[in-house]
Amino acid sequence: MAQIGIIGSEGAMGHALARVIEDAGHTLSGGIDRGGDAAALADASDVLVDFSAPQALDANLHAAIGAGVPLVIGTTGLEDRHHAAIDEAARAVAVLQTGNTSLGVTLLAHLVREAAARLGPDWDVEIMEMHHRRKVDAPSGTALLLGEAAAAGRGIDLAAHAERGRDGHTGARQEGAIGFAALRGGTVAGEHSVILAGEEERLTLSHSAENRSIFARGAIRAAEWLIGRAPGRYSMDEVLGL
Ligand SMILES: NC(=O)C1=CN([C@@H]2O[C@H](COP(=O)(O)OP(=O)(O)OC[C@H]3O[C@@H](n4cnc5c(N)ncnc54)[C@H](OP(=O)(O)O)[C@@H]3O)[C@@H](O)[C@H]2O)C=CC1
Ligand SMILES: O=C(O)C1=N[C@H](C(=O)O)C[C@H](O)C1
């Protein structure tokens, strides 16, 4: 039984998390949104779960370190400087950051890495995602996570090979590129496809989220797993034993 604090508590994920916390027999120690006191929430919690916005990250890391509590970060749209701050914080507390807390996507990343490695550079990798009309960041955190998996399979650096936001006279596709396309509309919880396109054949690896409860369950499982862990940056692979 843990005291779990939610950052982004009035958001779509915040509500999904609160339901899972109750179902799992944990206690909601509190919740904050924009302008809330992360330090006070951390003091009242065994673990923090953040599904809010990148602008909240520094205060959340500071609060987690101050109270000595672990932190699950599901917020997407993070930039290199955010990841550097997470690495730094992980020297003091246990932190898990991922663009997708679901079991299906965590496994999919392994399959993508394997397919990209085995099929080799003649197969073009394109990543397509669709989300609800409210989503503010693109490509999604999951699309980027899957892009990293494909890049790892190819032994290349994603940042140097990503083709994002094609529009107009773009020229031909660069050899070895990993392309991204983002669609937005309606209430879609999360659709991701990784397409490996070769000569006269295509392989598509896909995941569909039917609702947010899969993300909330994964995040609470991660929160349970982090409590009592030594400082460090952990992954969903470790939580799920994949
Ligand atoms: N890793 C994963 O598996 C998943 C990740 N996500 C990510 O989680 C995040 C939240 O998604 P979702 O719930 O749909 O978004 P919502 O917009 O529904 O909710 C976001 C919440 O965060 C709050 N918030 C905004 N800024 C701050 C801040 N500076 N400090 C504290 N709280 C703040 C908002 O409060 P206010 O209204 O006051 O601004 C709002 O209540 C997104 O980045 C999304 O991509 C979503 C699903 C799964
Ligand atoms: O904003 C969302 O809703 C989601 N965000 C995450 C992402 O950016 O990949 C995870 C999931 O796809 C839903």
Reported ipTM: 0.99
Q: What is the pLDDT of residues 55-95, one digit of tens each?
A: 999 999 999 999 999 999 999 999 999 999 999 999 999 99
The CATH number corresponding to 3-101+212-240 among 3.40.50.720, 3.30.70.20, 3.30.300.30, 3.30.360.10 equals: 3.40.50.720
Span 103-208 CATH architecture: 2-Layer Sandwich (3.30)
Which atom of ligand 1 lies nearest, measured to the CA of 215?
A: 3
Task: Kindly state the tokens that stand for 198.
Answer: 């070769």
Which secondary-structure segment (H or E) carries 101?
Answer: none
Q: Which residues are annotated as a binding site for (S)-2,3,4,5-tetrahydrodipicolinate?
A: 132, 141-142
Candidate of 15, 78, 131 to mutate for ligand 2, largest count of ligand atoms within 8 Å of Cβ = 131
Mean pLDDT of the chain: 98
Which atom of ligand 2 lies nearest, measured to the CA of 143?
A: 9
DSSP 4: E
Residue 168 φ/ψ region, left for φ over 0, alpha for ψ in the -120 to 50 degree band, beta for the rest:
left
The full set of domain ranges for the chain reads 3-101+212-240, 103-208
The span from the CA of 118 to the CA of 114, in Å, is 6
Pocket of ligand 1 from Cβ distances under 6 Å? 7-8, 10-14, 32-34, 36, 51-53, 55-56, 74-77, 98-101, 141, 215
pTM reported for the whole predicted model: 0.98
DSSP per-residue codes, 10-53:
TSHHHHHHHHHHHHTT-EEEEEE-TT--HHHHHHT-SEEEE-S-
In the block, which residue shows the tokens 């797993």? Answer: 225
Residues annotated as catalytic (active site), given as ranges: 131, 135
Q: What is the pLDDT of residues 27-45, one digit of tens each?
A: 999 999 999 999 999 999 9
Query: What b/e readout covers 129-151, taking b as 16+ CB neighbours within 10 angstroms?
Result: bbbeeebebbbbbbbbbbbbbbb
- Where does the pLDDT of residue 129 fall: very low under 50, low under 70, confident under 90, or very high at 90 and above? very high
